[in-house]
Structure formats: C-alpha cells, structure tokens
C-alpha cells in the first residue's frame, strides 16, 4: 500500500497556487518537500496537454520518486445541461491516466441541484443539494449505463475506475455507492470510500464512519483519507466542519485502515491534503500517522 499525496494546496513563497503542480523551480521544491515528508506518489487532475508533454511529465515525476498514481476528474454528470459531454470527458481522462502511468481514474457522479447555492450547499444542514436522497432509481440506472459504457476502455488501458463517495453526488453514502456498484456489475469499477465526505454532508451524519467503511471496503479501488472536527449548532440545524490532519479529527482511521486491510484492499492510500495553513506540516503529520498504523498492523 503506497501513501500518495492528493494535495489540495500548493503554496511555497512566493508562489501561491491552487490544485495543479506549480511551474518551474516551484515544482522542483514542491516535489522535493513532498518526498521528504514521506509521500510515494501523487494524485493529479487531467489536462488537455498533448501525449508527448504528458509522457515527459510522467518521466519527471518518476525521476523525482513521486509517480502519478491516480487521476481525478472526468465525471459522469447527470445534470441535463451537461450530461451529453460527460462520457467523452471520462474517456479523455482515462487516456490521460494511461499516458501518465496512473492505475486508477477517480471520479464522481454529478447530480442536478434543486437550488444551487441554496440550503445544504455551504455548511452541513438537514438538506444536501444533489444527494442520493433526492435521486430516483432511473438516475442510478443511467449512471450505471454510462459507467458500463466506459469500463471496457478502462480495462483495455489497464485502468480501474473508482467512484468517489462525495457530497452533492449520486453516490454520497455507503448504501448509494453499493447500490450503484450492483447495477454496474463490472470488476474494473469500484468505490473510493471517502469517509470525510460522508461526515460533512449533513448537519448530523447519515451513518457512522465505522459502519460505512466496513460496508464499502470490499468494493474499494482507491481511498481518499481526510479528517474533520464537527461543530454542531443544533438550535440552527447547522454544522460547520474544520479540517485537521488525520490523527486529530473525529474519524477513527485506525479502525478504518483495519477494516480496509481485512477486506483485502491492496491499493493506495491517498491523503487528501489540508487547505489552510502549513500543508507540509499538516500533511506530513498525516503520513507519519499512517506509517505508524501500517507498522502496527504488520
């Protein structure tokens, strides 16, 4: 099991960037520091770069000891205005993943939102926009058809597809994720059981992290790990969430890692990086914690 960096902040003075690898000398510094704190690979987003440029990036990352291990993106989209291009988007992301040497494409199932920007989009509330609670069976069936359509290309390229459990998406808890997997019924398509996304979807979590990970672990193809602290205002039916390093939040990753390993998971563990503060301190703390757990569990 490799511990890889799903970074969500790239800030090295004077560079203050976003979710992409920084350019030039800042890239070299970022890769060096990421390797120093213990990461063994990276998760990246796709781009429209030509194949040669992507393969050159692959070599540079591999030479730095941080190969790309996952591509996030593509996305099966059930929103009526944009659903027509989602299959092509997934296919482009799969080809990008094959060029850069990533074994998995991590994606989501986007849903229409009844009130974009309204209740249930910014903080945890009793309503979550675009959730499985709002979905119809035909939404699951349509998503399954789209996934079955792209799964052969993934298999031909030697890739797996992981569906991330994600708020504002069709698969946003263990039930919806497993129901979708039953409809897809393809060995190359599995889940990314991101417990943090379940935890911060509603004001009161739909299910415990322990129940969710035990249910989904046998179908996992990839795994995002992040942690949170929950500040609940019951009189307002609202919750705000503060992201932490993995050992400092309220999701028990000792339990979760044990569940994943006992289910036979052999894939990568992706630390979804902190978004504020010193990323290398916070994310380095997460790597050290995971290494301690892996050592304990043999």
**Mean of the per-residue pLDDT values of the chain:** 95
Q: What is the CATH number of the domain that holds 23?
A: 3.20.20.150
Count Cβ atoms within 10 A of the Cβ of residue 64 and give its class: 0-12 exposed, 13-18 middle, 19 or more buried.
middle
Kindly report which listed range (80-84, 92-96, 236-240, 288-292) carries the lowest average pLDDT score.
Answer: 80-84
Judged against a pLDDT cut of 70, whether residue 81 lies above it is answered with no
**pLDDT given at position 227:** 98
**pLDDT given at position 168:** 93
Tally of domains within the chain: 1
Nearest residue to 181 (alpha-carbon basis) of 148, 205, 211, 156: 148
Residue 242 tokens, joined: 């503060």
Judged against a pLDDT cut of 80, whether residue 84 lies above it is answered with no
Task: State how far the Cα of 106 lies from the Cα of 45, in Å rounded to an integer.
Answer: 10
Nearest residue to 66 (alpha-carbon basis) of 296, 298, 287, 282: 287
pLDDT tens per residue, range 147-182? 999 999 999 999 999 999 999 999 999 999 999 999
pTM: 0.95
Domain that holds residue 151: 3-296
Task: State how far the Cα of 146 lies from the Cα of 140, in Å rounded to an integer.
Answer: 10
At residue 82 the predicted structure's pLDDT band, cuts being 50, 70 and 90, is low
**pLDDT given at position 76:** 86
């Amino acid at each position: 099991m490799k511990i890889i960096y799903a970074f969500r902040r790239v800030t090295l003075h004077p560079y203050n960037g976003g979710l992409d690898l920084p350019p030039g000398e800042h890239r070299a510094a970022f890769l060096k520091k990421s390797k120093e704190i213990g990461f063994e690979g990276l998760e990246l987003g796709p781009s429209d770069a030509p194949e040669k440029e992507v393969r050159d990036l692959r070599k540079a990352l591999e030479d730095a000891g941080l190969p790309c291990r996952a591509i996030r993106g593509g996305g099966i989209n059930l929103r009526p205005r944009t659903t027509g291009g989602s299959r092509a988007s997934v296919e482009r992301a799969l080809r990008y993943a094959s060029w850069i040497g990533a074994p998995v494409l991590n994606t989501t199932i986007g849903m229409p939102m009844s009130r974009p920007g309204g209740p249930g989009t910014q903080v945890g509330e009793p309503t979550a926009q675009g959730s499985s609670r709002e979905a119809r069976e035909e939404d699951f069936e349509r998503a399954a058809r789209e996934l079955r359509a792209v799964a052969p290309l993934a298999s031909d390229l030697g890739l797996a597809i992981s569906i991330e459990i994600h708020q504002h998406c069709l698969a946003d808890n263990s039930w919806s994720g497993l129901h979708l997997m039953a409809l897809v019924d393809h060995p190359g398509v599995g889940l990314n059981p991101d417990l943090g996304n379940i935890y911060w979807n509603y004001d009161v979590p739909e299910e415990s992290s322990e129940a969710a990970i035990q249910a989904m672990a046998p179908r996992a193809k990839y795994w995002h790990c992040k942690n949170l602290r929950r500040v609940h205002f019951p009189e307002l039916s609202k919750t705000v969430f503060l992201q932490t390093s993995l050992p400092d939040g309220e999701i028990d990753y000792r339990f979760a890692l044990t569940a994943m390993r006992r289910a036979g998971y052999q894939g990568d563990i992706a630390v979804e990086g902190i978004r504020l503060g010193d990323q290398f301190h916070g994310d380095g703390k997460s790597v050290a914690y995971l290494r301690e757990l892996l050592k304990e569990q043999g």
